[in-house]
Structure 1
Amino acid sequence: MSLVDFFVPVDDRKFGTEAGFFTSQIGGQVHVFTKNFPDIEEGKVDIAFFGVMDDRHSVNNQGCAIGPDYIRQKLYELYAGSFKTRIVDLGNIKAGHTVTDTYVAVKTVVASLIKKNVVPVIIGGGQDLTYAQYMAYEELEQKVDLVVIDNKFDLDELSDDPSLEANSNSYLNKIFLHQPNYLFNFSNIGYQTYFVNQDSLRVMEKLLFDVNRLGDFRNKMSVAEPIIRNASLLSFDISAIRASDARANGNASPNGFYGEEACQLCRYAGMSDKLSSIGFYEFNPAFDTHGQSAMLLAQMIWYFIEGFYQRKRDFPLQPKSQYLIYRSTLKDNSHELVFVKSKKSDRWWMQVPYPNGHAGNERYHLVPCQYEDYQEAVSGQMPDLWWRTYQKLI
């Protein structure tokens, strides 16, 4: 089946050649599927947008299925930055006969794009589509790292049945319980404690996953950079943004990230050499006052694009001459910790050795970190990130 079979074109009068965008605007630079499906030949396209018009498993937010075109309208009005874009818009995936049919379509499209070295930008739809986004990596046969920006954990701690259908409040169950399991790490950015069951926190701790409260990032957004840099895929729930900045969601909350902070997170995502897909979910135009939330999401995607075209290509770590190696020994001399710093971007990584008996050829696992982790090691302390990563490798 060809990719075009999954999509319906968008309105040429709004988004295509008849829309009248200037060539300096995003809308004047993107090849949009209005009549002819874009050619997605490897090496000619960097980013592919597509909408998913399915909200049947979105909890308390019916109506987000029609969100993609509202975001498109705002995005295409924005002017491109100082980067040359190679972007296509594939149109929209309509809801399948069943939600599972929609998942299969999203999975197939995302997997096909990644294999062509094209980064999919998914505009949902309900956040349960994250499960389909994740399943696309099954064909790649490699461990992946999932980062979710959300004000809670979409986890049903009372259920351990992988056959149950996912919804926007429980899709993590499907991901965590999926077999074969190729999820290496899960990270949440921005959870708010009063929305989180303490049992869920204990589950995250038991699984050695990284969960980060909203307050951890207040006035220090750089803390999020290495977390996002480690992501293979990212899922962004608009409810993670405070309602005063983005109210277009049936579950909007007074607290959350500010709009400019959300844009910063998306720029980090764009700059990550490892990240190969991103999804924006739960935008509901029924709650959007004056198109403010659609404009914010458009700006978030703009920052993702800007970040993408500023990628430093310093991961994997080649050539070695472009990096500085730092070594530090713990107080009890039990471990030597090795850190790597890129001369090109000043970003840091930590080498975590594989335990004895590891079947692969690699001697260590590289995990993005902060300069503060190196400082902690210099003081003789074991960084928590090193220990948690090592436990996952055992």
Structure 2
Amino acid sequence: MNFNFLSPVSDSVVAHNELLSSQSLGKKITIHSKHNGFPDLDDAQIAIIGVLENRNDVNYLGEEFSLNEIRKALYELYPGNWHTRIVDLGDINKGETVEDTYFALKTAVSLLVQKNIIPIILGGSQDLTYPIYRAYDSIQPMVNIVNVDSRFDLGDSNKPIKNNSFVGKIILDQPYNLFNYASIGYQTYYNSQEEIDLMDKLYFESYRLGEVSKNITIVEPVMRDANIVTIDMNAIKASEVSLKQKSSPNGLDGKEICAIARYAGISNKVSSFGLFEYKPSQDDEITAGLISQALWYFIEGVNFRVKDDDFLNDDNYQKFTTLADLQELVFYKSKKTERWWIEIPFLEEVNNKLKRHTLLPCMHQDYLDACNNKVPERWYKAFQKNCV
């Protein structure tokens, strides 16, 4: 398997790791270093990859950056009671062109996902989500993306791809593999009415910052259905991060971003996780510390995954049927985890993308709402997308 485009973790980070406690996370991670070479991927479950690409940032001024401080902060943490083998594969450096970097990232993600290894991608600009999405072209026909961001990043898809327009490219570029796009923590005043209307028209999901902060658990069913999860560091409020990283007085706080990362980790479907728009500065400890803790919670989540979506065996679940707005809705509740799903019916007369009854993750509250004659919004949007 050819990963020769990945450069080793810097000597200074490896030397820093040598001084850490033998119990620290850094001592449990197999690191791609000049001295030890590329790690063996057999039985690895999580692979960290840095991508030093930020040329498609709309504010790019030619600055270089490194991910050394994040790695140091992550290595210093102590692992939980984990059974997961983690490898740090080093960095993808800027290619001759941005497209070269995209190709390297797409190749790496595709190879890892096919080996059932979850890549954690640490990056510069968030347009790197595009090659991650393209890595799934040969793996699965329909992909769900969740973007934790203050903006939708739909942009103008007729213009060259940028970190504020990559979602437009994902929607419109062939092959059309995007089934659902969900935005978590968006702030209305950063998004044009045109973009908000387009999200509705496409039956995509969007959860305002206030909704998420009021009830963080609404994120869990959305994550349970995601294949790719990306976090834009600009979604985090200024008081939580270092000087250069400050973006908005409002945003998610540290606890919320860690909870969201953990929800992504415990989802059985999430097979790649990206954290983008990192901007190092002199007072970098806080941002690097927050990112490392979010990564810790994602890894913790992966360790506590439970296979609870096997509905072939009647002993594994309870089934509930209710009528809402003259629509029969069928719910399933896992006996293992008490998580809920709702059935999206297969429409024979429609060119159905899914070709079968599909179970959509939901909350207990959705069942209670249905009992009170209210159709869950997630179900309605998924059903409408199915009819397109």
TM-score by length of 1: 0.93
Aligned equivalents of 1:259 and 1:155: distance in 2? 26
Aligned counterpart for 1:345 among listed residues 337, 343, 358: 337
2:260 to 254, 258, 265: 265
Identify the residue that residue 346 of structure 2 maps to in structure 1: 354
Query: Within the alignment, does 1:363 sit opposite 2:356 as a pair?
Result: yes
Where does residue 187 of structure 2 map in the other structure?
A: 192
The alignment status of 1:239 with 2:240, answered yes or no, reads no
For residues 274 and 131 of structure 1, the distance between their equivalents in structure 2, rounded to whole angstroms, comes to: 19
SS at match of 2:231: strand
Deviation at 1:315, TM superposition (A): 3.0
Contact 2:127–2:164 (8 Å) recurs in 1: yes
In the alignment, residue 384 of structure 2 is paired with which amino acid? Q
Distance 1:160 1:76, change over 3 A: closer
Tell me which moved more, 55-64 or 27-36.
Answer: 55-64
More displaced stretch, 224-233 vs 299-308:
224-233
Deviation at residue 267 of structure 1 after TM alignment: 0.4
1:252 CA drift (Å) = 1.0
Q: Once the 2 structures are TM-superposed, how far is the Cα of residue 360 of structure 1 from its aligned partner?
A: 8.1
1:248 offset after TM fit, Å? 5.5
Instruction: Say whether 1:122 aligns with 2:118.
Output: no
State whether residues 228 and 272 of structure 2, in contact with CA within 8 Å, keep that contact through their aligned partners in structure 1: yes
Q: 1:68: which partner in 2? A: 67
Give the structure 2 partner of residue 172 of structure 1: 167
Who is 1:113 aligned against? 112
Assess if the C-alpha contact under 8 Å between 2:233 and 2:245 holds in 1: no
Question: Paired residue for 1:280?
Answer: 275
Q: Which amino acid aligns with 1:130?
A: T
Matched, 1:304 2:298: yes
**Greater Cα offset, 339-348 or 296-305:** 339-348
Q: Counterpart of 1:140 in 2: which secondary structure?
A: coil
Query: SS at the partner of 1:303?
Result: helix
User: Please, which runs of 5 or more residues in structure 1 have no aligned partner?
Assistant: none
Alignment deviations for residues 327-382 of structure 1 (CA, whole Å, 9 cap, x no partner)? 11235xx3221111111111111101111146789531111111111011111222
CA, structure 1 residues 152+247, in 2 after alignment: closer, same or farther (shift >3 Å)? farther
**Is contact 1:60-1:250 (8 Å) kept?**
no
| Distance in 2 between residues matched to 1:20 and 1:4, nearest whole Å | 28
Structure 2: distance between partners of 1:169 and 1:179: 20
**What SS does structure 1 have at the residue aligned with 2:141?**
coil
User: SS state of the match for residue 39, structure 2?
Assistant: coil
Q: CA deviation at 1:82?
A: 1.3
1:386 aligns with 2:379: yes
CA positional deviation for 1:17: 8.9
Change in Cα spacing, 1:359 to 1:290, as seen in structure 2 (3 Å) is closer
Q: Deviations over 1:166-196 (max 9, x none)?
A: 1111111110111120100000001111111
Aligned-partner Cα distance in 1 for 2:154–2:381:
21
Give the residue type in structure 1 aligned to 2:386: L
The equivalent of 1:327 in structure 2 is 321
> Is 1:64–1:285's contact at 8 Å kept on the other side of the alignment?
no
Give the superposition deviation at 1:3: 3.1
Query: Is the 2:13–2:71 contact (alpha carbons within 8 Å) kept by the matching residues of 1?
Result: no
TM-score, scaled to structure 2: 0.94
CA distance in 1, matches of 2:18, 2:61: 29
CA distance in 2, matches of 1:224, 1:33: 34
Structure 1: 4+ residue segments shifted above 4 A: 61-65, 248-251, 358-362
Q: Deviations over 1:289-319 (max 9, x none)?
A: 2510100000000000001100012235454
Q: CA deviation at 1:258?
A: 0.6
Aligned partner letter, 1:91? G
Q: Which residue of 2 aligns with 1:86?
A: 85
5 Å-filtered alignment, 1:209-224, equals: 209-224=204-219
Alignment coverage as a number of residue pairs: 384
* 1:194-230 deviations in Å (ceiling 9; x for gaps): 1110000011111110011100112310011111111
Q: Report percent identity of matched pairs.
A: 39
Asked if the contact 1:248/1:293 (under 8 Å) is kept, the reply is: no
State the match for 1:291 in structure 2: 285
C-alpha contact (below 8 Å) 1:67/1:283 kept by paired residues: no
How does 1:28-177 map onto structure 2 within 5 Å?
28-35=27-34, 36-41=37-42, 44-60=43-59, 66-156=65-155, 159-161=156-158, 164-177=159-172
Residues 302 and 18 of structure 1: is their aligned pair in 2 closer, same or farther, counting only changes over 3 Å?
closer
TM-aligned CA distance change 1:256 to 1:319, over 3 Å: same
What's the Cα RMSD here? 1.9
CA contact (8 A) 1:27 1:77 kept: yes
Residues in 1 aligned to 2:197 and 2:348: alpha-carbon distance in whole angstroms: 29
Identify the residue that residue 181 of structure 1 maps to in structure 2: 176
How far apart, in 1, do the equivalents of 2:133 and 2:157 lie?
A: 19
Output the CA distance in 1 between the equivalents of 2:128 and 2:223. Answer: 20
